[in-house]
Every structure is written in structure tokens, then in C-alpha cells.
Structure 1
């Protein structure tokens, strides 16, 4: 059973994400997150997807794109670390990725479909990781992190951005 990571298993700047993850089966949490996100985003219009809550902030589409990119990167880190790969994994600039992703030029329905695909892939990856691999540690962005911590970071990052969307973008 995948266990909540200890604070020494990940960089402290991920604390804000990890504290958002509720108790329970992480696979079930990831599946529920996907269902909730698809329901929410499928109910938005293209116009709503193109709204930013303030000047200089990302649009809903860009937030979704960021969620997609980050989950892909974190899943790749999870794959490498869980397989025992000790090669250092680079960090990334979320701002550069959001800019280069050109998410505002895409249809909201396409982004929702891609979000589903990426999350389903993440869930499949987690299901296939053997029990003994979860405590394995690697280096990402020059700091140590365990496979199980990365799995929880994925869930917490998702919660963080879903809350922002619900609180700042959709309250009007």
C-alpha cells in the first residue's frame, strides 16, 4: 500500500501540496480528481476557458495546460525514480512551458481530453509500480525525492490548481 511520505522524502516547498492530499487510497483519490475535473471543465464555455482572474495571470486553459505539463513531468520523474534510475532529473520553468504550450490557441475540449489521457496514464503507471519501489529515492531539480512523494505531489498539485480555478476563476 502506498504510504504518505515523510517530510524528509521531498523538498520542503512541496509541503503546501502534500498537506492538501486527503487520507485514503491515493489511486482512488487520483481517479476522483479526474472525474471532478472533467465534470467541471466540460461544463465551461470556450469564453470561460479564456478568462484570467487578473491581469498577468493565466487563463483557465493555461492553468489546465500547466496541470497537464506538470503531471507529465512528475510522472516521468516517478517512472525514473521508481525504476531505480539515479540520474539527476532537471527542473523546469512553468512560465516558459505555459508560454510555449500556446494553450490559449487550443480548444477547451481538446485540453480536457488531453488532461484525461495524461491522468489515466499516471494512474496506470502507479498501478504498475511494485511495493518495494515506492521508497526509492532520486534527485529532481537538484534535490532528493522518493517515488511515493512524487505520487503525492501529483495529487496535491492537482488539488492546489483546482482550488484556484474554483475560487478565483469561477466565483463570479
Structure 2
């Protein structure tokens, strides 16, 4: 199961990274709409998501349950000023962090998939759910950048 999720992360990188690289700096810096994130900020958010989820995937294997803080995604994106980073640098970081995360996911111990995790004030969910939701979240936000007309109105789960 975790091998399938890891393959999906890698396949997503291989499919979408060339499309993302095709965006020029100007397009990557422009918000999709007033009050929305730019592609740079979306990729920055996905970097934050990967870093937060790496902690969850590792820590949930080290005990019988996990209680992990949520994170204020807008504040994280603003604080890190992703809009000021070169697009190519953000893509390189996003790609490498996700390659590592795919490796971590592939090596999650099967017994850990049922570990209950509470994130912020949310309802407890299994580590399996968090891993599967990570991929849904990744696809959701990449669609916002690459096919915004198709992504309009979609929502994602808050655990990513």
C-alpha cells in the first residue's frame, strides 16, 4: 500500500514538474485571482505540507498514537515569503523534498498504518489516511496551478 502511494508521488513529480518548469517567472509570481495564492505560493505551501507530513510519517511509527499541531498555512506561506524566491529554486526544493517523502512513505512499517493521529483540533485519523490524503492534497494544489479552470471549487482535506 505504501509503495503504491510512493509511486504516485513520484509519478506526479515526473508528470507535472516539466509543466511547472514551463511557467515563466512572471506567471509563477502572479496570483490566480485577488486574494488567492500565486503558483510560487502554492508550491511553497506544498513544500510546507511535505515537511509537516514527513514529521507525521516518522513520529507516528515511534509510538502508539500521535498528537501533532496543525499549522496556519496562510501564515506559513506569508512568513516564508515564497513569492520572493526564484521559481526554479522553489521547484528544485519541492521536487527533492517530495522524492525524499516518497522514500519515507515507501518505508512506513505496515503496523504503523493503523496508528491514530490527531492533528490540531481534528478528529483522529489513521496514518494510512494521512498518507493517502497527502497525495490527494498534492493533486488538488497542482491542479490549481496547471489547470485552474478545472480546479475551481474543489476543496481538500485539512490534514495535508
Q: Which category of TM-score, normalised to the shorter sequence, fits these structures?
A: 0.7 to 0.9
Q: Among 129, 139, 146, which residue is 1:149 paired with?
A: 129
What is the rounded CA distance, in whole Å, between the counterparts of 2:36 and 2:132 in structure 1? 26
Q: 1:159 maps to which residue?
A: 139
What is the CA distance between 1:87 and its match in structure 2? Answer: 4.7
TM-score for the superposition, normalised by structure 1: 0.79
Alignment of 1:26-105 (within 5 A): 26-84=5-63, 86-105=65-84
TM-score for the superposition, normalised by structure 2: 0.85
Q: Among 109, 113, 126, which residue is 1:130 paired with?
A: 109
In structure 1, the gaps of 5 or more residues are: 3-23
Q: Is the 8 A contact 1:77 1:89 kept in 2?
A: yes
Q: 1:21 maps to which residue?
A: none
- Residue aligned with 2:67, SS: coil
In structure 2, the gaps of 5 or more residues are: 150-160
Q: Is the 8 A contact 1:87 1:138 kept in 2?
A: yes
What is the rounded CA distance, in whole Å, between the counterparts of 2:128 and 2:66 in structure 1? 18
Q: Is the 8 A contact 2:47 2:97 kept in 1?
A: yes
Higher relative CO (Cα under 8 Å, sequence separation at least 6) belongs to 1
Measured on the aligned residues, the alpha-carbon RMSD in Å equals 1.7
Aligned residues: 148
Q: Is the 8 A contact 2:29 2:38 kept in 1?
A: yes
Q: 2:88 maps to which residue?
A: 109
What is the rounded CA distance, in whole Å, between the counterparts of 1:113 and 1:58 in structure 2? 19
Q: Is the 8 A contact 2:28 2:87 kept in 1?
A: yes
